[in-house]
Amino acid sequence: MKLLVISTSLRPKSNSEALAKEFARGASDAGHEVEIISLRGKQIQFCKGCLACQNTQKCVIKDDAPDIVAKMHDADAIAFATPIYYYEMSGQMKTLLDRANPLYSSDYRFRNIYLLTTAAEDETQVPQYAICGLTGWVECFEKAHLTGTVFAGGVNDMGEIEGHKVLQEAYNMGKQIK
């Protein structure tokens, strides 16, 4: 199985990227082909809403998004890792989801979608809006579904997630992919 893990934090050594790496390690240990893409350093413009992609399955904007979207198209499963900002997914993640519009009318491969989140706050409801937002995107793709989520709360500073029990949870989720 081909798995794509997209880390959407722009911060080096971010807590959500640590979750992404553990998830990827679990999937790799289970024998899957895994690629991790970080949005850090990528140029991704906002969707212009022209809908040209609905006819061509390609975006007219020339930046890093089309290459990432092509990898999303060819993956069997996709995991998004994001910090929670104001109880929502990162802006970079939302912008990428909007730019993935060419997938809508294509014969995409992905079926399973995963969400890995981190936040400074540690209440269970913290990632709910991000889960809801990603669920809305996933529901536009009738062959796909949100398969699993992991949340690490109480981690704000760089590297604060080190030793957190949820890293094992992310690893296990990746390892259990079939």
Nearest CA to 24 among 2, 55, 39, 46? 2
What confidence tens digit (pLDDT) does each residue in 89-133 have?
999 999 999 999 999 888 999 999 999 999 999 999 999 999 999
Please, how many CA atoms are within 13 Å of residue 6, restricted to the half-sphere of its CB?
Answer: 27
CATH superfamily of 2-175: Flavodoxin domain (3.40.50.360)
Amino acid in the structure at residue 45: Q
Residue 58 CA to residue 69 CA, distance in Å, equals 9
With a threshold of 0.95, does the pTM exceed it? yes
Please, how many CA atoms are within 13 Å of residue 95, restricted to the half-sphere of its CB?
Answer: 17
Please list the pLDDT of the chain residue by residue as tens digits (178 residues): 999 999 999 999 999 999 999 999 999 999 999 999 999 999 999 999 999 999 999 999 999 999 999 999 999 999 999 999 999 999 999 999 999 999 988 899 999 999 999 999 999 999 999 999 999 999 999 999 999 999 999 999 999 999 999 999 999 999 999 8
Tokens 């289970």 found at:
30
Residue 162 CA to residue 64 CA, distance in Å, equals 30
Residue 139 CA to residue 44 CA, distance in Å, equals 23
